[in-house]
């Protein structure tokens, strides 16, 4: 494969993925509304299209037509930049997440990942940390006390939880002996899923992911009762939509990352023993990945409509006094796995 | 400063959150499969019971005369001052009647105190809940909109006689 | 001083006082219907029964003279059960038509039924029926069913109005009140019976069904019907004066006021023909203009005449503040000495009770604050003659309709080159005027007036205008005033763009290039107190609710009648 072909394939993959993310994110909003309705014995959106299937488009249209209001005292360039950063971070993270095995198209072996980078995990951690900037800058540039408090909360929260997140990932890296997402997926063949091997790490990572994506029960940066809307109090129209989109895209990324790191990625256990053709193998793998991600997304939404928000001090003490030690214990446990059980 | 301790401390299981979280999650999951209560409003209409407090209306007797004698008690008791009454004299046996009776539906809070205080059973809460206006003027309901034949209000009047 | 004990409290009294009088003096009210402070004792309602030690039976407090060392219980079990029994008895034939009755809210029977009544009636029989809606006179309506036969109205006509017109007829439960054959209740004080009637049997035909009494805000003011200056309450709803009621002031009017004052002195405030905003004459017709525009035009007109060509006429209807501001404007800004005012005397109006022949409220006040010709200045006759002769070319008149019923003046004023007037309503005088400034009525401004015997009394605003805000000026507020918004049709009523005369003069002198430093009416009053000896040492606080007697100088001409 020469460089031109690589570029063409990469661009095609990027286009496919961006389309998929955008579509699934909008339907994620739809399902969030549906699931919340079901949990509350309601029906949910059902007016636009069949069973409300066109609701996401109606929502987007509505947001597009809204007036874009920027506060008088806002720092306008940064106020505009913040939602762009949020979206940028959300989309670029997806570049390194593998969503299927290598496939053969027109005689080329194409890996089903946009960029098969050998430091992919570092890349993801780096980019998700960048996401804090979006929220902090949004909060600061709005020139509103609520926004500022939301931004400050979010930076404190994200920094705290990034530590336990990083340590949890450490366990995965130790087992896979690689920073490459594709390698990590391959290391979990069969039932050797990291979620089973290191359950503590899985839980700490899962909880940290909730905190990193600002989802309930950790959505303190936008806690409505106290902060009106937190960092996006002063946002409206498409800028608000960008934050909204980024939040759900982040959820999507977080789910995909959890699947990659802990739930065997695109692998269907023992699929290679069934003797399927390469095409079927690839299709089932991609489907397995999609199902796993969908299940996690459902879990994200389900948790949101079940568990109330933490108090801020509870959030911090959970992060530092519970999650951080637990992730350290997980590292020790992984070490034991490697040294004693020789995995 | 002495810290205030809660009477019953959390047990270990409660402290590690996870079982409690699972309990909470299972509750919402169960609810997802329960029957829904949503009413498809414009197609399906809610028919309220007699105890429902909808838009307040004036009772019109069968001979087309209102029961109201414009005593002004509803106006006095109305917490948001929604009711304006102007009395005048008539030749009828009840010598006083409301020449103007106006309820500002933007102010009305449907508390039903007017109905409770009315000595003549002349103002009652109807079952009408479909109230929409596009300007302040439309929200002023005068006698033309308020007078309702007693036949249509019998349900509520019976309820009041039994329970008020 | 002799003392007796009432409900464990020692009470001093003067020899000859009844128990109820002594108690009232000491701030204790024993329930009563038929007893009234300034009427004779009738003792027929029996609701004031009290228990007195060593007396075998209960006694009525209104007719029992207090004696030294007496021990009285007004709320003992025995007294209370007797009072409850009397209440039940009163209510046997009293209809349950409070929702219709105008008295509701200020009804003694309602109040006592609430505090002493059983809450329900044991009387299952048909109540008696008497005549309802009987016009006893042009202003009073009688409802026989509601009457509790206390005889207050009969005693009022006999003793106060001194014109016996009412009497009881029939007996027992059929007793009712009628006018004597061939007579009707038309004495000039007839409407006071609606005030003293403890129930809704006698109601005012003027106020009938206009408003519930609890909807009215009450403002302490003074009647402007004649120079007596009876103390009144202005009762206002939705920024409209709906009725006047007398306010007790033993120095002036006791409990009473006359029907003329009650019925005829407030209607012009709500009238359709109020002057609303300044008007000036353009091409023969009066056109509405802005304030600044009117001030500028009037001042440039005034400046084109020499000071001896301009004359001023004050008003016995305007307050002392208004008249004083006018004299100040005339003397120090225009510099003329031609200033006077016209007295309005009606020889047929006065009587021995309250009404005075001088039918203006403030003629003495106008005179005291200086609306009299200066040395060498022309008086009223001189001014009129001057206009006829053409020596006086401009006239400045405040708040007085001089032309009404006076053909001579109509012709005289038509000769004027410049005629500026302040007026509350459009009338025959404004038809001739070149400038009409809208003046506040007595119900719309702060101010003071002086009655015929030199008592200075306060007017307080009860009706809000563009110039006077109800809440900001601390005017009395009803519940509806308090919580209304500009979107409520019942809150602000019809507000007029009018100003007090002194405010108009301040504005006009500003346009003339002279500043009168008056911000509120009281500042004008301070100036009067500084410069007029009779007023010295007074301020609004000292005038108070009941007025203050002026130190009149001996050389002041006493006002006729």
**Which residue, chain included where needed, has tokens 């500003």?**
C510
Please report whether residue A48 resides in a domain: no
Q: Which of C33, C63, C92 is the last residue of a domain?
A: C92
C-beta of residue A265 within 8 angstroms of C-beta of residue A188: yes
pLDDT > 70: percent of chain C: 98
**CATH number, residue C55:** 3.10.20.740
Q: In this predicted complex, what is the ipTM?
A: 0.83
β-pairing, C3-6 vs C71-73, is: parallel
Q: Which of C76, C92, C108 is the last residue of a domain?
A: C92
Q: Which of A266, C488, C460 is nearest to C480 (CA)?
A: C488
Q: Output the pLDDT for position A272.
A: 72
Please report whether residue A1 resides in a domain: no
Please report whether residue C169 resides in a domain: no
A306-315, C268-277, C321-330, C379-388: lowest mean pLDDT where? A306-315
Query: In angstroms, what separates the C-alpha of B158 from chain C's closest C-alpha?
Result: 23
Residues C544-554: what's their mean pLDDT? 83
Please report whether residue C511 resides in a domain: yes
Residue C488: domain span: 279-549
pLDDT at A92 over 60: yes
List the domains of chain B with CATH numbers. Answer: 56-163 (3.30.70.3270)
Q: How many domains does chain C have?
A: 2
State which residue of chain A sits closest to B23, comparing Cα positions. A306
**pLDDT tens readout for residues B5-46:** 667 777 777 777 788 888 889 999 998 888 888 888 888 899
Q: Output the pLDDT for position C100.
A: 92
> Which chain B residues have a beta carbon less than 8 Å from that of A39?
28-29, 31-32
Please report whether residue A185 resides in a domain: yes
* pLDDT grade for C115, boundaries at 50, 70 and 90: confident
Q: Output the pLDDT for position A142.
A: 85
- C458: tokens are 């306060």
What is the C-alpha separation between A310 and A210, in angstroms, rounded? 12
Cα separation values, B19 from A185, A316, B24, Å: 30, 21, 9
Query: Could you give the angle at which helices A324-340 and A199-212 cross, rounded to 10 degrees?
Result: 150
Query: In angstroms, what separates the C-alpha of B124 from chain C's closest C-alpha?
Result: 17
pLDDT at C559 over 60: no
> Which chain C residues have a beta carbon less than 8 Å from that of B84?
489-490
Q: Which residue has the higher pLDDT, A320 or C118?
A: A320
Q: Output the pLDDT for position B8.
A: 74
**pLDDT tens readout for residues C224-279:** 999 999 999 999 999 999 999 999 999 999 999 999 999 999 999 989 999 999 99
**pLDDT tens readout for residues A165-203:** 888 888 888 888 888 888 888 888 777 788 888 888 888
pLDDT at A4 over 70: yes
pLDDT at C557 over 60: no
Q: Output the pLDDT for position C561.
A: 38
Q: Output the pLDDT for position C149.
A: 92
What is the C-alpha separation between C422 and C396, in angstroms, rounded? 8
State which residue of chain C sits closest to B137, comparing Cα positions. C487
**pLDDT tens readout for residues B91-118:** 888 889 999 999 999 999 999 999 999 9
C-beta of residue C82 within 8 angstroms of C-beta of residue C58: yes
Please report whether residue C177 resides in a domain: no
User: Does C touch A (3+ CB pairs < 8 Å)?
Assistant: no
Report the residue from B24, B33, B38 with minimal CB separation from A43: B38
Q: Output the pLDDT for position C274.
A: 93
* pLDDT grade for A343, boundaries at 50, 70 and 90: low
Q: Output the pLDDT for position A113.
A: 72
- Do the chains contact at B37 and A38, CB–CB below 8 Å? no
State which residue of chain A sits closest to B26, comparing Cα positions. A306
The two counts, helices (H) then strands (E), for chain C are 16, 23
Q: Output the pLDDT for position A1.
A: 61
What is the C-alpha separation between C421 and C430, in angstroms, rounded? 7
Residues C497-515: what's their mean pLDDT? 93
**CATH number, residue C503:** 3.40.50.740
Query: In angstroms, what separates the C-alpha of B77 from chain C's closest C-alpha?
Result: 11
Query: In angstroms, what separates the C-alpha of A303 from chain B's closest C-alpha?
Result: 7
| A43 close contact with B: CB closer than 8 A | yes
Q: Which of C51, C76, C92 is the last residue of a domain?
A: C92
State which residue of chain A sits closest to B16, comparing Cα positions. A322
β-sheet bridge partners, residue C236: C217, C241
Residue A211: domain span: 67-107+116-340
Query: In angstroms, what separates the C-alpha of B72 from chain C's closest C-alpha?
Result: 7
**Which residue, chain included where needed, has tokens 């391959």?**
A186
pLDDT at B53 over 90: yes
Residue C287's H or E segment, with its range, is: strand C285-288
Q: Which residue has the higher pLDDT, B51 or A272?
A: B51
Q: Output the pLDDT for position C560.
A: 42
What is the C-alpha separation between A297 and C109, in angstroms, rounded? 74
| A31 close contact with B: CB closer than 8 A | no
Q: How many domains does chain A have?
A: 1
Report the residue from C99, C211, C212 with minimal CB separation from B119: C99
Q: Which of A37, A62, A65, A41 is nearest to A51 (CA)?
A: A37
C-alpha torsion C491→C497→C500→C502, nearest 10: 150
**pLDDT tens readout for residues C161-206:** 999 999 999 998 899 999 999 999 999 999 999 999 999 999 999 9
Please report whether residue A29 resides in a domain: no
Please report whether residue C264 resides in a domain: no
Report the residue from B73, B75, B102 with minimal CB separation from C99: B73
pLDDT at C558 over 60: no
């Amino acid at each position: 494969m020469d460089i031109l072909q690589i570029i063409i394939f990469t661009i095609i993959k990027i286009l496919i993925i961006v389309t998929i993310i955008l579509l699934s994110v909008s339907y994620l909003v739809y399902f969030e509304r549906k699931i919340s309705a079901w949990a509350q014995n309601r029906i949910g959106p059902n007016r636009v299209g069949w069973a409300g299937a066109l609701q996401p488009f109606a929502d987007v249209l509505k947001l597009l037509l809204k007036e874009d209001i920027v506060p008088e005292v806002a720092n306008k360039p940064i106020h505009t930049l913040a939602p762009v950063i949020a979206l940028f971070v959300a989309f670029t993270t997806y570049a390194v997440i593998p969503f299927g095995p290598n496939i053969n198209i027109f005689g080329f072996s194409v890996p089903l990942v946009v960029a098969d980078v050998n430091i992919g995990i570092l890349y993801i951690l780096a980019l998700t940390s960048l996401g804090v900037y979006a929220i902090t800058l949004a909060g600061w540039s709005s020139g509103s006390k609520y926004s500022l408090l939301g931004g400050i909360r979010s930076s404190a929260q994200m920094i705290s939880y990034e530590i336990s997140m990083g340590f949890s990932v450490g366990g995965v890296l130790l087992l896979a002996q690689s920073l490459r997402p594709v390698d990590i997926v391959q290391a979990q063949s069969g039932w050797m899923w990291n979620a089973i091997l290191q359950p503590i790490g899985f839980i700490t990572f899962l909880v940290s992911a909730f905190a990193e994506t600002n989802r309930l029960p950790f959505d303190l940066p936008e806690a409505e009762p106290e902060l009106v809307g937190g960092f996006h109090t002063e946002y409206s129209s498409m800028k608000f939509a960008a934050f909204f989109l980024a939040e759900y895209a982040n959820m999507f990324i977080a789910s995909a990352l959890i699947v990659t790191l802990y739930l065997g990625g695109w692998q269907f256990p023992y699929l290679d023993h069934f003797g399927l053709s390469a095409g079927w193998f690839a299709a089932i793998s991609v489907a397995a990945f999609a199902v796993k991600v969908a299940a996690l997304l459902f879990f994200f939404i389900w948790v949101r409509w079940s568990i109330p928000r933490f108090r801020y001090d509870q959030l911090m003490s959970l992060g530092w006094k519970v999650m951080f030690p637990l992730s350290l214990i997980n590292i020790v446990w992984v070490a034991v796995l490697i040294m004693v059980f020789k995995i | 400063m002495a810290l205030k301790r809660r009477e019953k401390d959390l047990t270990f299981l409660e402290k590690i959150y996870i079982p409690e979280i699972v309990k909470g999650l299972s509750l919402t999951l169960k609810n997802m499969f329960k029957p829904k209560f949503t009413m498809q409003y414009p197609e399906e209409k809610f028919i309220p019971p007699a105890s429902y407090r909808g838009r307040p209306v004036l009772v019109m007797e069968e001979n087309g005369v209102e029961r109201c004698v414009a005593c002004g008690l509803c106006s006095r008791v109305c917490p948001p001052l929604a009711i304006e009454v102007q009395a005048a004299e008539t030749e009828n046996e009840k010598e006083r009647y409301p020449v103007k009776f106006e309820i500002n539906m933007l102010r009305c809070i449907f508390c039903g105190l007017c109905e409770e205080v009315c000595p003549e059973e002349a103002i009652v809460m109807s079952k009408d809940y479909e109230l929409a206006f596009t300007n302040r003027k439309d929200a002023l309901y005068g006698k033309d909109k308020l007078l309702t034949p007693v036949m249509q209000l019998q349900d509520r009047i019976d309820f009041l006689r039994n329970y008020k | 001083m002799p003392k007796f004990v009432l409900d464990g409290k020692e009470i001093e009294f003067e020899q000859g006082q009844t128990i109820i009088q002594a108690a009232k003096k000491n701030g204790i009210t024993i329930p009563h219907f038929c007893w009234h402070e300034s009427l004779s004792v009738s003792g027929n309602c029996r609701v004031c029964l009290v228990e007195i030690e060593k007396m075998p039976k209960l006694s009525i407090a209104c007719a029992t003279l207090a004696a030294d060392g007496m021990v009285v219980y007004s709320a003992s079990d025995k007294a209370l059960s007797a009072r409850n029994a009397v209440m039940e008895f009163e209510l046997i034939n009293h209809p349950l038509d409070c929702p219709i009755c105008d008295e509701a809210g200020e009804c003694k029977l309602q109040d006592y039924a609430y505090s002493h009544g059983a809450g329900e009636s044991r009387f299952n029989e048909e109540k008696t029926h008497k005549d309802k809606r009987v016009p006893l006179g042009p202003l009073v309506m009688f409802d026989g069913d509601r009457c509790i036969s206390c005889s207050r109205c009969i005693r009022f006509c006999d003793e106060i109005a001194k014109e016996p017109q009412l009497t009881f007829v029939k007996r027992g439960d059929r007793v009712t009140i009628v006018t004597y054959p061939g007579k009707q209740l038309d004495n000039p004080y007839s409407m006071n019976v609606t005030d003293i009637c403890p129930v809704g049997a006698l109601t005012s035909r003027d106020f009938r069904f206009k408003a519930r009494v609890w909807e009215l805000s009450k403002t302490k003011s003074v009647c402007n019907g004649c120079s007596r200056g009876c103390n009144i309450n202005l009762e206002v709803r939705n920024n409209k004066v709906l009725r006047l009621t007398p306010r007790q002031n033993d120095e002036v009017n006791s409990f009473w006021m006359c029907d003329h004052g009650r019925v005829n002195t407030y209607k012009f405030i709500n009238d359709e023909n109020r002057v609303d905003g300044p008007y000036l004459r353009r091409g023969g017709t009066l056109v509405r203009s802005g304030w600044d525009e009117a001030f500028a035009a009037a001042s440039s007109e005034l400046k084109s005449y020499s000071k001896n060509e301009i004359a001023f006429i004050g008003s016995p209807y305007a307050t002392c503040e208004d008249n004083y501001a006018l004299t100040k404007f005339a003397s120090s800004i225009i510099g003329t000495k031609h200033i006077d005012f016209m007295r309005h005397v009606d020889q047929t109006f006065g009587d021995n009770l309250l009404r005075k022949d001088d039918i203006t409220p403030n003629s003495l006040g106008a005179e005291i604050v200086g609306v009299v010709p200066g040395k060498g200045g022309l008086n009223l006759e001189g001014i009129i003659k001057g206009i006829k002769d053409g020596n006086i070319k401009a006239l400045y008149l405040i708040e007085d309709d001089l032309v009404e019923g006076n053909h001579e003046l109509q012709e005289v004023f038509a000769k004027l080159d410049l005629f500026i007037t302040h007026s509350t309503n459009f009338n025959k005088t404004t038809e001739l005027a070149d400038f009409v400034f809208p003046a506040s009525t007595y119900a719309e401004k702060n101010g003071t007036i002086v009655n015929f015997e030199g008592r200075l009394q306060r007017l307080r605003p009860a009706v809000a205008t563009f110039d006077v805000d109800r809440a900001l000026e601390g005017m009395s507020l009803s519940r509806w005033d308090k919580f209304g918004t500009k979107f409520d049709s019942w809150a602000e009523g019809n507000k007029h763009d009018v100003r007090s005369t002194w405010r108009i003069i301040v504005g006009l002198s500003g346009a003339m290039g002279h500043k009168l430093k008056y911000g509120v009416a009281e500042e004008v009053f301070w100036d009067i107190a500084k410069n007029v000896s009779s007023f010295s040492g007074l301020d609004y606080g000292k005038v108070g609710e009941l007025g203050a007697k002026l130190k009149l100088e001996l050389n002041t001409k006493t006002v006729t009648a």
